[in-house]
Amino acid sequence: MSSMQEAQHAIQQDLWLETPDGRVFARVWTPAVAMHEGPQSPIVLFHDSLGCVELWRGFPARLSASTGRKVIAYDRLGFGRSDPRSDRPTFAFIAEEAERCFPAVREQLAIQRFVAFGHSVGGGMAVHCANRFADACEALITESAQAFVEDRTLAGLQEAKALFGQAEQFARLGKYHGDKARWVLDAWLDTWLSPGFATWSLAPVLPGVGCPLLAIHGFDDEYGSPRHPQLIAQLAGGPSRAKVLADTRHVPHREREQAVLDLVAGFLRAKRHAGC
C-alpha cells in the first residue's frame, strides 16, 4: 500500500483543549499501518504566521503514513478554529508559545517525548520548544524557518502586505480564520515590520537545542535566504543538517511534498538506528 493510500485510511481525531488563555483546536492523525515495534513519539506540527490546522491540508496524514508516527497539529490562539485574541502579540511571541500554549497542549494530550516540526515562524516556536523541553524533544525539524530578520524577509512582507490589500486575497484568509482574519494578518505584518522586532534572532536559544536537527529550506524562499537554515544548523547544540531545496519557495511541504516526506522519514529513521 502506498503512503498516499495509507494516508487516506489514517485515523483522524479532532479535539478541543483548554489553555491558560483560551480554547485551542487540535487534530491528531494516527497511521493506519504500524511501521515499527513499540510506541513512537508523535510529531507535533507548529504552523506559520497565516496558518492553521486546515492549511496543512493532506500533508499531516501523509507524514503520519511515511513515518509510522502519530502527527498532532493545533491552531494557535487567534487562528483557525481556536478562540480569538484581542491583544496583539508581544515581540517575545515566538518564545511565549513554548512557555504558555504548548505546555497545556502537551499536558492534555499526554505527550511525553515528541518530535517538533515547525514551518516558517512555527519553526522558531519549535526551536524554543526543543530548548525548553530538551529532555522530552527527541528531534527537531524546521522548514522555511527564519532565524533573524533580513532584507529579504522585509521585502517579502511588503509584497505580502500589498497582495493582501486586495479584497479577494484577504477573503482567502477568512475561509480559514473567519472573523479573526484581520487580527491574523495584522499580527503578522505589524510585528515583523516593526523596527522594534528588527533585532529578533534565534541565535541565543539554538545552542540549547541538543537533539538531532534537520533544517529544510527552499532556495527561492521569498521570506528568507539559505543563510537561515545554515545558521540554524551551525548554532544548534546537537547534531544538525541543513537541506536547501532548489527551485522551491516558502512552502516546501506543498511545493515539494514527496521530497520533504522522504527527508523527514529518512532523518527520523537514521536517528532511530543511531539510538538517539
**Cell representation of residue 19:** 489553555
Neighbouring CB atoms inside 10 A of 270's CB total: 14
pLDDT at res. 1:
42
**Cell representation of residue 51:** 496558518
pLDDT at res. 7:
52
pLDDT at res. 153:
98
What pairing do the DSSP bridges indicate for beta strands 22-30 and 11-19? Answer: antiparallel
Per-residue pLDDT of 46-59, as tens digits, reads 999 999 999 999 99
Q: For the chain, give the longest Cα–Cα distance.
A: 52
Q: Whole-angstrom Cα distance, residue 263 to residue 257? A: 10
pLDDT at res. 2:
46
pLDDT at res. 38:
65
Closest CA to 216 of 157, 257, 155, 274: 257
Strands ordered across the beta sheet of 22-30: 11-19, 22-30, 71-74, 43-46, 114-119, 137-143, 213-218, 240-245
**pTM (2 decimals)?**
0.95
Q: Whole-angstrom Cα distance, residue 230 to residue 85? A: 34
Residues sharing a CB contact under 8 Å with residue 132, sequence separation 6 or more, in sequence order: 98, 99
Helices and strands of the chain, counted as H and E runs: 11, 8
Helix, strand, coil content of the chain in percent (nearest 5): 45, 20, 35
**Cell representation of residue 49:** 504566521
In the chain, which stretches have pLDDT less than 70? 1-9, 34-38, 271-276
Domains and CATH numbers, the chain: 3-273 (3.40.50.1820)
SS (H, E, C) 2-16: CHHHHHHCCEEEEEE
State how far the alpha carbon of 134 is from the alpha carbons of 139, 206, 217, in Å: 10, 11, 24
> What per-residue string of b and e applies to 99-108 under the rule 16 or more CB within 10 Å gives b?
eebbbbbbee
Per-residue pLDDT of 188-226, as tens digits, reads 999 999 999 999 999 999 999 999 999 999 999 999 999
